[in-house]
Structure formats: structure tokens, C-alpha cells
């Protein structure tokens, strides 16, 4: 049976990054840059005051005290008109350019202004060149790289792009992800289940997970365990970038999904992965006539299995499509809070709660009644990996944990 690591590798080899598109910075949050950017100007573009006060020449100071003649007031957005000579100063506001002849700023709190004499008495500590100012191009020089391709755009990156003359950028777009729940036992969440029925929790849960992954969900409702209806719904879902089918991928007589996908021209990449929960996971690809593939995941019907498989495998595929530089789930090491026995013969991804204690990550596996016990995941913010089945893990051991 395929290992989880081999499944990750096959997903990354199969899913191709989306073509890039130009987007305004207002629409680029959490997108991934497809091309690097450079600055179109020096940052800052001039010697810049970092506080309100007086622009001075440090050579005018002895023991931090002096009296200087005021020449003008310089506001942010204006340009100095007078160059400073010895014994002269100009009042300056935060963000304004320093006049020629100034090499420092003294903050206003250390200054006593004589309006009648147009002078200022300054009593401060030692004044050295560069005090309370930011020299021109000290942050970034014109033509210097700002962000590299593959950078995920957070608010600070978007601000940096705006500052350096990139009001729009080329990014990888978010995929559309169709969701199709399958099974005769399912009813909509607003309905009261009759004997033998359960509410369709997977569709709305997957919808939320897709949004959390910055993709675009397209719910298709429920397909019954009947070939014609399932076939019609699958054809609709194959128009999206991704199609997620919930249920119908195990080995039961009415698990029809794999055969119907094959009938639709979908090529199977793998079926079944050596992990718990989530063993029946199915993955394939449809090469469409327009040249844009559709990537298909058949997720187990049990909700915990579905949740875990999405967080591990579907999210990896979405991140690969969007051009993330490191699309695989990233593990962190955490100390096991209590003893834990991993049953069965497969690696187990156990819903868990991760906390920080005195700067150390500590993980507590949550008790669960199995892959159908969705309620047990409500307190979870991660999954803990117990890599060997049928083994006792002692408290204090460091294990891999994946945040949700």
C-alpha cells in the first residue's frame, strides 16, 4: 500500500501550478507571486525625518546645547527651499525631507522656540550624524529586488509592493473546488434524518476547509448511489479545477465512484494510502480538451477521515496549484503530554490539541470513538502523527504534529 510520503510526491508530480494572472494588490492577499518584483525608486527617496523637531547640523552642537536661527518649516509632502548654513536650523515634521546641510534631527521636546527672535534654544544630549533620520536609499536602492517569485502575499508584502511601485502583480490564481457528497443515507443539514439516515456534514465541512485554504468552493449537493445520477453530478464537477467526492471510494458493493470516474476518462493516480484514518483515499486526473486538467480526490465518507485527508493531501494539491513554494504540510516537534497507545497496523494521524508551555510545544491526543466521531475533533487544532501502529508511546516523547 502507498505510504503517505509517496502519496504526497505523486500529488506534487501530478498537479501543475496554475497559469499566472495580473491582479490589483487589493485582490492579491494570500496569493503567491508568479514573478519577482524590483523597486522603481530609492527607499526612502530622500533623507527622511523620523520625528517632529528641528533639522540640524551636528557640527553646531557642543555638549548637546546650542541656539540656532530658524529658516523655515518643512512639512511631510513638501520640499525644503533653504540650505542650512552654520548656526541655522529648520523646523521639520515626521516624514519630511531634510534640507541640504542637515545631518540629524533633534526632537521637539528638547527645543524652546523664541518666536520673536526666530530662534530655537536646544538642550539635548550628544547629537551625532544620522540621529532621528533615515538616510536616502538606506532601506532599498532603486532597481533592487523586493520580493521573489513564490512569495506568499501577506499584508506586509502587499504594503511593500505598493511602496516600491507595483500596484498590480502577477500571481497564481485560486482554484475552483467542486464538492459532491455521495450516499443514499445522506440528507441535508436542515432535514430531520429518518431511520438509517444521517445529515450531510461533510459537504459543509469541506466547504469551510476549502475557504480556509484560500480556494473557491462549489458545492454540488448529494448524489445518490445510482449510476445515472452520480454520472451526471460527476460531469458537472469535472468542469472545476478540483473535484472532491465524499464517500463511495471504499470496497463496498455500492461504492461506485472509482468506476464512474474511470468511465468519465479520469486517470487514476493512486487508490488507498497506508494511514489511519483515510486509507480509502483516491486521487486521479482528467486531461481536458482545453488543456487545463481537473484533479479529483475521492475522500472517505467518515467525517474524521475526510477532514484529515483534506488537511494532509487536498490542501497540498491546492497549494501546489497556487504556486506555494513549500506545499506539503509542515510538521513541528511537540512533547507528548500523556501516554498514548496506537492501535492497528498503520501510521495514525490522531486529532490533538497543541498548546505552548513556557515556550515549548506540548501535544495532547484527543480521545475518539473512531473516524465517524466528528464531535471529538471540536477541541482539536492539530493532528499528532504516531508513525508506527500497535505501539505504546510514553509521555515526554517528541513527535510530529501538523497544525490545522
pLDDT greater than 80 at residue 251: no
pLDDT band at residue 253 using 50, 70 and 90 as cut-offs: very low
CA dist 101 and 74 (Å) reads: 14
pLDDT digits (tens, 9 = 90+) for 290-318: 889 999 999 998 999 999 999 999 999 99
Q: Which CATH number fits domain 20-43+139-172: 1.10.3720.10, 3.40.50.720, 3.90.105.10, 3.30.565.10?
A: 3.90.105.10
Q: What pLDDT does residue 221 have?
A: 93
The full 3-state SS of the chain, as one line of letters, equals CECHHHHHHHHHHHCCCCCEEEEEHHHCCCCEECCCEECCCCECCCCEECCCEEEECHHHCECCEEEEEEEEEECCCCCCCCCCCCCEEEEECCCCECCCCCCEEEEHHHEEEECCCCEEEEECCCCCCCCCEECCCCCECCCCEEECCCCECCHHHHHHHHHCCCCEEEEECCCEEEEEEECCCEECCCCCCCCCCEECHHHHHHHHHHHHCCCEEEEEEEECCCHHHHHHHHHHHCCCCEEEEECCCCCCCCCCHHHHHHHCCCEEEEECECCECCCCCEEEEECCCCCCCEEEEEECCCHHHHHHHHHHHHHHHHHHHCCCCCCCCCCEEEEECCCEEECCCCCEEEEEEEEEECCEEEEEECCCCCCCCHHHHCCCCEEEEECCCCEEECCCCEEEEEEC
- CATH code for the domain defined by 48-134: 2.170.190.11
Cell of 177: 473546488
The answer to whether domain 20-43+139-172 and domain 48-134 are alike in fold is: no
pLDDT above 70: residue 150: yes
The fraction of the chain above a pLDDT of 70, given in percent, is 99
Q: Which fold has domain 331-403?
A: Beta-clip (2.40.340)
| Global confidence as pTM | 0.83
pLDDT at site 6: 98
Between 136-145, 148-157, 220-229, the lowest mean confidence (pLDDT) is in: 220-229
Q: Where do the structural domains in the chain lie, given as residue ranges?
A: 4-18+173-322, 20-43+139-172, 48-134, 331-403
Q: What is the mean pLDDT of the chain?
A: 94
Q: Which whole number is the average pLDDT over 233-258?
A: 84
CATH number for the domain whose boundaries are 4-18+173-322: 3.40.980.10
Reported as a single tens digit per residue, the pLDDT across 28-74 is 998 999 999 999 999 999 999 999 999 999 999 988 899 999 999 99
Q: Which residue has the higher pLDDT, 23 or 248?
A: 23
Amino acid at each position: 500500500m502507498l505510504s503517505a510520503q509517496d502519496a504526497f510526491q505523486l500529488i506534487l508530480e501530478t498537479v501543475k501550478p496554475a497559469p499566472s494572472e495580473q491582479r490589483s494588490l487589493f485582490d492579491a492577499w494570500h496569493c503567491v507571486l508568479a514573478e519577482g518584483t524590483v523597486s522603481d525608486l530609492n527607499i526612502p527617496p530622500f533623507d527622511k525625518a523620523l520625528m517632529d523637531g528641528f533639522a540640524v547640523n551636528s557640527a553646531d552642537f557642543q555638549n548637546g546645547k546650542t541656539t540656532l536661527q530658524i529658516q523655515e518649516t518643512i512639512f511631510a509632502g513638501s520640499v525644503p527651499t533653504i540650505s542650512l548654513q552654520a548656526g541655522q536650523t529648520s523646523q521639520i515634521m515626521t516624514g519630511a525631507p531634510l534640507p541640504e546641510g542637515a545631518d540629524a534631527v533633534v526632537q521637539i521636546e528638547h527645543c524652546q522656540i523664541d518666536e520673536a527672535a526666530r530662534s530655537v534654544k536646544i538642550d539635548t544630549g550628544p547629537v551625532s550624524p544620522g540621529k532621528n533620520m533615515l538616510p536616502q536609499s538606506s532601506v532599498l536602492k532603486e532597481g533592487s529586488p523586493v520580493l521573489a517569485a513564490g512569495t506568499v502575499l501577506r499584508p506586509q508584502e502587499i504594503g511593500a509592493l505598493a511602496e516600491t511601485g507595483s500596484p498590480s502583480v502577477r500571481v497564481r490564481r485560486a482554484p475552483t473546488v467542486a464538492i459532491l457528497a455521495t450516499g443514499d443515507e445522506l440528507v441535508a443539514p436542515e432535514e430531520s434524518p429518518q431511520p438509517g439516515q444521517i445529515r450531510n456534514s461533510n459537504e459543509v465541512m469541506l466547504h469551510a476547509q476549502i475557504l480556509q485554504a484560500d480556494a473557491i468552493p462549489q458545492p454540488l449537493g448529494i448524489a445518490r448511489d445510482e449510476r445515472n445520477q452520480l454520472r451526471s453530478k460527476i460531469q458537472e464537477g469535472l468542469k472545476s479545477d478540483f473535484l472532491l467526492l465524499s464517500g463511495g471510494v471504499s470496497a463496498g458493493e455500492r461504492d461506485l465512484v472509482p468506476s464512474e470516474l474511470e468511465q468519465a476518462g479520469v486517470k487514476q493516480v493512486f487508490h488507498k494510502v497506508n494511514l489511519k484514518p483515510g486509507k480509502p483515499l483516491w486521487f486521479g486526473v482528467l486531461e481536458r480538451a482545453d488543456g487545463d486538467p481537473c484533479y479529483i480526490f475521492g475522500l472517505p465518507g467518515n467525517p474524521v477521515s475526510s477532514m484529515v485527508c483534506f488537511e494532509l493531501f487536498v490542501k497540498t494539491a491546492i497549494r501546489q496549484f497556487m504556486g506555494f513554494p513549500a506545499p506539503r504540510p509542515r510538521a513541528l516537534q511537540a512533547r507528548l503530554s500523556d501516554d498514548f497507545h496506537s492501535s492497528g497496523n498503520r501510521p495514525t494521524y490522531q486529532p490533538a490539541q497543541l498548546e505552548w508551555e513556557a515556550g515549548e510545544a506540548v501535544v495532547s491526543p484527543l480521545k475518539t470513538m473512531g473516524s465517524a466521531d466528528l464531535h471529538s475533533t471540536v477541541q482539536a487544532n492539530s493532528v499528532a502523527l504516531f508513525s508506527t501502529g500497535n505501539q505504546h508511546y510514553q509521555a515526554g516523547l517528541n513527535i510530529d504534529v501538523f497544525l490545522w
